[in-house]
Structure 1
Amino acid sequence: MTTLENAAAVLKLFSQKGIRQGHPGLSFSDVVEQLAMPKSTVSRLLVTMETEGLLERDPDSRLYKIGRLLLAVSSHYLCTPLVDAASPYMAQLSKQTQCTGYVSMLEDRDIMVMRMFPGRTYLQVITPAGSLLPAAETSIGRAMLARYSDQQVIARYREGYRVNSPNSPQTLDALLKCLSEIRETGWSFAHNETLQGISGLATSIANKHRNEMVGLGLSFPSPRDGDALPAGIREGIVSVTRQLAEKLGDEYWQ
């Protein structure tokens, strides 16, 4: 293994052993035993990682903790607004799938489109940034509503539940059943709801460090009855969401 691979293996031990802030840290023997490496190799590796700011060693306990360099980089990333953090991923996914990509936020019972990335399919689906759409009638809205408990969703619709699309959940109970299914799979599907001939697939992602949540969605021409989703759409958006979840520590996707 290269020095970089060995350093990565050491850093992964912090996650594997559940070492969080307030934990004493990793010992020299922990690294030797877990990675099955010679003591001389581990000694040189840990000294280098400490010198470069990847690790810090407590002068009293002699245990290793995550260094200031990694903390500074992760802090900068985690403090980035979630809409901005997700946008490059959705722009690339939109290009790969040729679908129109969206990043949206939940505003009471509506979603607000924050970013839109035009697709290249023969049917252009354009809902510009700033648009408001009923959350219950969109895949991206239901993906975000699924993050809440049934009681919280019921409270959100305490003034009454009403939808315009005949293809959306027609009652609050039907919506709750739909949200339960979304919690099982992690993704939400809408077929000919906001617009006839248009379908959408969506997920949601949260950054607990900023108390933010956004929905990530792809829109595309609706498959004909009996046809499967276009290749790569579901796999692509789930993969992107999992990548973001890993970076942000979103336990919903673990």
Structure 2
Amino acid sequence: MLPILNIAAYLFSAIEDPLALKPVLLASAQARQLMGTILLAPEGINLFLAGAPEEVHGFVAELRADPRFATLETKESWSHTQPFRRMLVKVKREIIRMDHPAIQPAAGRAPGVEAETLKRWLDQGHDDAGQPVVLLDTRNAFEVDHGTFEGAIDWRIEKFTEFPQALLDHRDELAGKTVVSFCTGGIRCEKAAILMREQGVENVLQLEGGILKYFETIGGAHYRGDCFVFDGRRTLAPDLSATGNAASARAAEDPDLALKG
């Protein structure tokens, strides 16, 4: 087992006092010698953290003791070295920026599909109702270029705020299909799935836990390439090993860049 545990997690849950919560979480993380980024907003929490496994698990246990975060689920991977350079907690308007205020995941999310079910559908070429399945990559174009699912739709967006317009431009292409939206850890595809349903796309699901949970559960079946992550490891292979040649200092230091889901 490698010495550093890395986790990615998010949860849409109403936080009335994100500014008050910020110093509490920062102090707890620093006391445990954790590094990474935590983003807080009225709509919830989004985080990437790394450190000694017992300290990471202890921090997560503290979070889950708060009723607002009781259902927080994490994606885990391991590394030889600490992929972050500092510990940051920031308060923002959204934990993943979409600039579409009507989308409120905490009020009700789109249905999800587990990694095992998605693999079975991809193996057989259709969902359990016999309907064709299309995978929609909701990540930015430069992330997709490092790797994605075979045959996935890629609208070449440069930032997630472009997704609503891209949907308007391409919505008719999704008719009559089961659409599975996906991203790195689940946060972007959750908002994207809600928006698609509101825009009249009938059969929309989100991949639970995103690519990282798929790798953790399934491995690389039906996936080609690596998965870009916003820390010093840069990219992960389907076995969750780091494949980046060098740390990306900007990604590791900038929480607005790092916390893209």
The higher relative CO (CA closer than 8 Å, separation ≥ 6) is in: 2
Q: What is the TM-score when the length of structure 1 is the normalising length?
A: 0.29
**Max Rg structure:** 1
Larger strand percent: 2
Query: Could you state the TM-score of these two structures normalised by the residue count of structure 2?
Result: 0.28
More helix by share: 1
